[in-house]
Amino acid sequence: MSEQASTLEDKLQELKNSYVDHLSEKIKDIQKLWNSLVNNWQSETQEELHIIIHSLAGSAGTFGFDHMGKVARSADNILKGYREEGVSPDKSKNNELDTLIEKLSCVCNEIVNHSSNKESSK
């Protein structure tokens, strides 16, 4: 690998590490918004949740976390239906969202644990 390519790889790895550092916080924000939405369905909260999940669907894969990106995409599609196609939130879809958000949390824990194990084995 050329020196320049190696530097670029290093920079991308740094960005990936920084992304992982903020991932838990992002998932907590998603959970907080989801809990708030379930207790009191407000379109502003739904919009906020959709933007953060949509953004996760795009960013996770860019940093190599394809599984997280796919789970986020599934949640994104449900919220997109609510937002753009006028689908009313229903119990079955909300249960699906609940499961997907729970799954995001599990995948996030796996990523963070894997990353800290790698760091500690250096």
Listed residue (7, 121, 104, 122) closest to 56, CA to CA: 104
Contact map string, positions 1 to 40, toward another protein, x by CB under 8 A? -------x--xx--x--xx--x------------------
With CB under 8 A, what is the number of residues at the site for another protein? 24
Listed residue (103, 80, 78, 76) closest to 93, CA to CA: 78
Q: Got the DSSP string for 61-80?
A: HHTT-HHHHHHHHHHHHHHH
Q: Which stretch binds another protein (CB under 8 A): 33-41, 73-81, 87-95, 107-115?
A: 73-81
Q: Which residues bind another protein (CB under 8 A)?
A: 8, 11-12, 15, 18-19, 22, 48, 50-51, 54-55, 57-63, 66, 69, 73, 76, 80
